[in-house]
Amino acid sequence: MPVTVFAVEKESPAAHAGVHPGDVLNAINGNEIYDVLDFRFYETEKQVTLSLQDASGAAREVHIRKGQYESLGLSFETYLMDKQHSCRNKCVFCFIDQLPKGMRQSLYFKDDDSRLSFLFGNYITLTNLSQREADRIVKMHISPINISVHTTNPELRCRMMGNRFAGDSLRYLYQFAEAGVKLNCQIVLCHGWNDGEELERTLGDLLALYPSVQSVALVPLGVTRFRDGLTPLTPYVRETALEVVRAGERWGEKMLEQHGERVCYAADEFYLKAGLPIPDAPFYGAFDQLENGVGLIANFQEGFRDALEDFSGDDVPRSGTLVTGVSFAPFLQELLDELKRKCHNLTYQVIPIRNRFFGESINVSGLVTGGDILDQLRGRELGGRLFLPCTMLRHEGDLFLDDVSLQDLREKLNVETVVVPDDGYELMNLLIRK
């Protein structure tokens, strides 16, 4: 569908060519423009011809010479230039279906948009994809594409995802691999559904697509206390998590031996549930799956220790509290103890926040709410500063999942708050800041 120009940057190539807000952009160099991917791809040429219509419907063409990759200077009403595509599936493990009522509306939106996969790293299921969009990905060689596979068994995929087209949409996965598009795949594992023999099948199918498939993450489902009326699911425990880790490591060793890369990894949470130590940073290669919690702890530890190695130590008094999820707290405490051996006047403490909002089986930092932090820190001695992981806040950095604001937290706890990037190196430097 054609798109309408919202604004034209002053002194830009488009402005000099006489493009105006309200003009409809139909095509660039004869290629129809549907959305931001079309626009960004075709505007990179040195010579472009824009096919336009003005507000009265009169058609015209303008010819522009510019630097290669120089922006035309056009902006549109939305970043994507049309509406964000929502998910058509009803996955048995969907976390959004496990949210309580009354939260802010944006949290209930399920995106499944191939453009966001390339632009922001979001994962897509392929069920929302048209052949035209798939062909465009191949033509533009958009890489990487992040795909929620879950299983390569078509019938099982339909059942797990509550979508009768979920099995057929796997054809796009193979089309992309054949075209050499790089793929990061995730498998959200549900015990008794897609693990065991089904996991072996899926890993065999996916890893046969190497090098197009550059990483595969094994991720455990999250089960909140708000599952009334939903498909019963069994959380992973020590024994079942161990089976998943061993499967991931076995396939990873095979890929390492054959191709020099592990490719297949279990998420940190599986290691923790299995009672196994987290592998060291080199195990994870290029850390392609950090967003899925794969190698997150090892990467954080490596960054912190790199910064600590560069620090000679001092005796400056510093105090404060670091809050985190229950699962990460022991690792954070270990790093803090290493820092204290160089800084002898530190009185920092680590406080794990138990997730009473979603249920205590949810123990990652990114799902901790402001209300739980307030309830568990109120009345405690917090020291000079309170350190919060940025993953606890929405992208704008102002609200927790339960709509408690960062400002509310500061005022009610009466403490300076420091939002920490998800980076061990940065945390270490914030801790030693005078």
Same topology between domain 96-294 and domain 301-431:
no
Under the banding of pLDDT at 50, 70 and 90, the label for residue 118 is low
pLDDT at 358: 92
* Whether the predicted pLDDT of 172 surpasses 70: yes
* Whether the predicted pLDDT of 150 surpasses 90: yes
State in words which class domain 301-431 has: alpha beta
Average pLDDT over residues 70-85: 81
pLDDT at 1: 62
- Of residues 143 and 152, the one with the higher pLDDT is 152
pLDDT at 354: 97
Greatest mean pLDDT among 79-88, 98-107, 226-235, 348-357: 348-357
Do residues 215 and 184 touch, judged by C-beta distance below 8 A?
Answer: yes
Lowest mean pLDDT among 271-275, 392-396, 418-422, 425-429: 392-396
pLDDT at 217: 98
Two tokens, residue 412: 């009610």
Average pLDDT over residues 271-287: 96
pLDDT at 120: 63
pLDDT at 114: 63
In the chain, where are the structural domains located? 3-76, 96-294, 301-431
pLDDT at 241: 97
pLDDT at 40: 87
Is 3-76 CATH 3.10.110.10? no
Under the banding of pLDDT at 50, 70 and 90, the label for residue 433 is confident
State in words which class domain 96-294 has: alpha beta
Q: What is the mean pLDDT of the chain?
A: 92
pLDDT at 282: 96
Under the banding of pLDDT at 50, 70 and 90, the label for residue 100 is confident
* Whether the predicted pLDDT of 332 surpasses 80: yes
User: What's the pTM value of the predicted model, to 2 decimals?
Assistant: 0.86
